[in-house]
Amino acid sequence: MNPVFQSGLRAYRDHRYEEAAADFRTAVSEDPQNPNYLYYLGCSLSELGKMEESVEVLSEALKITDAIPIRYMRGEINMNRGLLSDAEDDFSSIIMHETADNRYWVSLSYLNRGLLRLGTEQIDEALSDITAAENLAHQEEDAVLLSRISSVLEKNGF
């Protein structure tokens, strides 16, 4: 594994995001087609509050691979930036590609899309999405995911 990337991972894990971003930038300059380098650079930029740049980097990674964590991260950032249509597109794309291997991400995507729809007063669609999120989490018997869903719903007044 690339030593600069490893250094970036350590810095990221330790919440040293400036250092992590610098290391990931170096790794990307050495191998611009590595989606992992781009993903972690995008995550670091997000932690630094550089949302627009983060979305640009994550979009570059998605040109290389349609990896769900990358798409989900971009969706979350866009949701937080108020770019609701872009966020909904990312979450819907994840939902459309549900498999047994990615139900965790699909569940979170249903949850976030449901919250987006609540914000635009699409109540029936929102409740359907939130129910789908909970059902998938129950199917997976994922107590951590169920707790996260419950926490998000409680935070949003449910």
pLDDT cut 90: percent of the chain above it = 80
Helix/strand/coil percentages in the chain, nearest 5: 80, 0, 20
Residue 80 reports pLDDT greater than 90: yes
pLDDT of residue 19: 98
Q: What is the band of 158 on the pLDDT scale with cuts at 50, 70, 90? A: confident
pLDDT of residue 152: 81
pLDDT of residue 140: 87
pTM: 0.91
CA distance 93 to 157: 27
Tens of pLDDT, residues 86-124: 999 999 999 999 888 899 999 999 999 999 998 888 889
Residue 4 reports pLDDT greater than 80: yes
What is the average per-residue pLDDT within 137-154? Answer: 88
Distance from the Cα of residue 77 to its chain's centroid: 7
Helix axes 84-96, 68-81, angle to 10 degrees: 160
Q: Residues 90, 64: contact at Cβ < 8 Å?
A: no
pLDDT of residue 109: 96
Tens of pLDDT, residues 48-61: 999 999 999 999 99
CA distance 106 to 110: 6
What is the average per-residue pLDDT within 5-14? Answer: 98
Q: Residues 41, 17: contact at Cβ < 8 Å?
A: no
Greatest Cα pair distance, the chain, in angstroms, is: 50
Handedness of CA 102, 148, 136, 79 (dihedral sign): negative
Residue 156 reports pLDDT greater than 90: no
CA distance 82 to 105: 21
CA distance 23 to 11: 9
What is the average per-residue pLDDT within 66-82? Answer: 96
